[in-house]
Chain A
Amino acid sequence: MTSTMQHELQELREAAESYGARHVHLAHFAYPPGIRMAVNLTVDFDAMLLRRASNEPPMQLAKGEFGGRVGIWRLLELFASHSMHATIFTPGRICELYPQAVVAAARAGHEIADHMWEHRVPKERDLEYDHLVKSTQAIVRIIGRRPVGTRSHHTPAFLTQLGYIYTSTDTADHLPYYVADAQHQNVLLNLPFHYAIDDAMFFNFGWIGSGPHGQRLADPESVLEIWWDAFQSLYKQGSYLNVCLHPFISGRALRTAMLDRFITRMQALPGVWFTTCETLARYCLEHFPPPRG
């Protein structure tokens, strides 16, 4: 190995070790007695905000609008029909666009959590903080309770400062884990969700500007097969599943019907704990707290 290569290797080692040291995996994690696996049904109630932020044309916004006018109500009905509570990750602006739906979700016992003010995290630090405060306040104003969770890549220092206890973003483990920021501070619990269990990856044309090349036009049968396979594998391990749904996608009748079948199948097995992210997060924090210092 030449000295240049040694230097390259050293650089890589430092990056990997530093990144690894930010994560705490819960080697001895266990669920409450009688529980084999937790399932968090999560809803990213974005509607048209991401499309608006990317300056997409009017019909694309209307596609998102479906989520607020129709889709969210269908998902709420679906959860009610199975007597289960979900977590609705709600951008602050949605509280102004679809207040009735957010209030109905909260009244039905679902958790309302943060999903960025207008579905973007500004690069400017002050503005980012301002957005997170606005989003938090918008939720407080409408449901009278502070959100404790987020699905975002907001700066962890801001999140902890504003009382957030968990995030639900990346997938560095099957099970919940702790992750610190780049300065190895501001630890948050992460409830991992995987893009393979995200409806947007299967049913959405032109996702993130991919155009016709990035065709995502699966039918619900083939996705049910993938998700059921994922569930069975995780159930065997006594692990954890976070299902990510968007009202403008999964609120379409053909997909709500598929989710109904998916939930019915999962529910038929013993020891599946359908709960909100907050409930699971509080359980983890109480029984498997993050290491101190």
Chain B
Amino acid sequence: MPWKDGYTTSDEKSLADQEVRWPEGKQCACVIVIDLSVASGPAGITPADLTTAASQFGTQVGVRSLLEMLQRFDMTATFAVPAVIAELYPATVRAILEHGHEVAAHGFKHEDVSQLDKDQERERLEAATASLTRITGQRPAGWYSLPRQRDPFAVGTISPHTIDLLLDAGYEYMGNGLADDMPYYWVTDVQTPRALLTLPYYYHFDDQFFLMFPPPGLGSGLENPKPFLTNCLLEFDAQYKRGRYFSMVLHPHIIGFGHRIRILEALFSHLQDFPGIWNPTAVQCAHYWQAHYPARTTLHLEPSIWQDYPGSLS
């Protein structure tokens, strides 16, 4: 086995807290991600998924509530937008851009690509990039593959080729990785090294797993606004103290409703009390990181001491 393939995707050790510097001496980066997909399954968004009240609420009402809330607290966000959503709701995409937020790619229709072969996946990736480029007027810099409520694991579904394909297509960052709580490099070839900057995601800071979850059909969902808020507050406090990075993922059709939007209000109000928060879009953060912590000097790929043995997993 070359290197530690199949086990690790990055180097052996993350940056220590004291090695992390943000622009203008800011204390902590805070990246808000809004998933503009609607509730769907592994096939991605279907006509049935778009003809639900929840979808209507999310794309019309919820997204406006979130835009207003961001504006009220003067915060920027990155919207992870499936290409089909941009095609169907171009006015929403324009409103997002007019507010100064980023539009990043989120699959052609937020489908699970893990079962596709490499050519099929490339075709979908290129189609998604072309749609978003045409609708937003610029190439998306980032790509997301966020989880859905019904996925067996709350981490997002990619294939073994996804990161390579994103590098081929010129993407500058992958929006959701789990191997760090800071920007880090996802290595696809240890020799070159070939690596894609990856921003962290963790489902404990994702509204869809706390509010009426599990979804109908999988269970009778429980409404858990407080654990969601507590997780976000405690993570922010701890990461602020360490001088690292905080990120959360929000869904307009989930957190955009009534009492739930108040979770967001409470969290954004809490952030106001802390000086030195840097609230970039994901792409701004990615550009800063690549300029100041390039893979060439930041990645420390130790030679592998792994050996294969009969009777052991390779």
Contact = CB atoms under 8 A, between A and B. Distances in A.
Partners in one complex: yes
Contact of B178 (A65, A118, A220, A254): A65
Interface in A57-92: 57-63, 65-66, 68-70, 73
A221 B230 contact: yes
B157 A57 contact: yes
A253 B244 contact: yes
Given A215-B214, A253-B239, A62 B155 contact: yes
Given A206-B152, A213-B219, A117 B235 contact: no
Given A59-B158, A98-B12, A101-B13, A205 B209 contact: yes
A35 interface: no
Contacts of A170: none
Contact of A69 (B180, B230, B302): B180
Contacts of B219: 212-213, 215
A56 B153 contact: yes
A62 B114 CA distance: 15
Nearest to B186: A62
A96 B13 contact: no
B157 A59 contact: yes
A57 B113 CA distance: 12
A293 B177 CA distance: 55
Contact of A127 (B239, B305, B311): B311
Secondary structure at the A interface, as helix, strand, loop or mixed, is: helix
A257 B242 CA distance: 11
B297 interface: no
A220 B234 contact: yes
Contact of B181 (A59, A66, A96): A66
A218 interface: yes
A212 B210 contact: no
Given A217-B210, A219-B226, A254-B234, A53 B313 contact: yes
Contacts of A252: 181, 202, 204, 235
Contacts of B193: none
Nearest to B16: A73
B311 A122 contact: yes
Interface in A210-248: 211-213, 215, 217-222
Interface stretch (B3-11, B101-109, B128-136, B279-287): B3-11
A134 interface: yes
Interface string B203-227: 1100001100111001100101011
B306 A96 contact: yes
Interface centre among A69, A205, A206, by most chain B C-beta atoms within 10 angstroms, is A69
B218 A218 contact: no
Contact of B152 (A48, A96, A211, A258): A211
A216 to B, nearest CB: 10
A63 B180 CA distance: 8
A252 B9 CA distance: 18
Interface residues of B, number: 64
Contacts of B4: 96-97
Contact of A59 (B178, B222, B235): B178
A60 B178 CA distance: 8
Contacts of A58: 9, 158, 160
B295 to A, nearest CB: 15
Interface string B300-314: 001011110101110
B180 A66 contact: yes
Given A73-B13, A96-B306, A219 B154 contact: no
A253 B313 contact: no
A60 B155 contact: yes
Contact of A219 (B151, B181, B230): B230
A10 interface: no
A211 B313 CA distance: 24
A251 B219 CA distance: 30
A85 B187 CA distance: 34
B97 to A, nearest CB: 29
B179 interface: yes
B262 interface: no
A255 B178 CA distance: 16
A255 to B, nearest CB: 8
Contacts of A212: 149-152, 154, 213-215, 218-219
B3 to A, nearest CB: 11
Given A211-B152, A212-B151, A253 B8 contact: no
Given A219-B230, A253-B244, A97 B7 contact: yes
Contacts of B180: 66, 69-70
A58 B114 CA distance: 9
Contacts of A115: none
Interface in B135-169: 149-158, 160
Given A118-B312, A213-B218, A203 B204 contact: yes
6 contacts: A57-B158, A66-B179, A68-B8, A73-B14, A96-B4, A211-B218
Closest 5 CB pairs of A and B: A59-B155, A253-B238, A219-B230, A219-B227, A254-B234
Given A215-B209, A217-B227, 18 more contacts: A49-B7, A52-B6, A61-B6, A65-B7, A65-B9, A97-B12, A97-B306, A122-B311, A205-B209, A206-B152, A206-B153, A206-B154, A212-B215, A212-B219, A217-B224, A252-B202, A254-B234, A257-B237
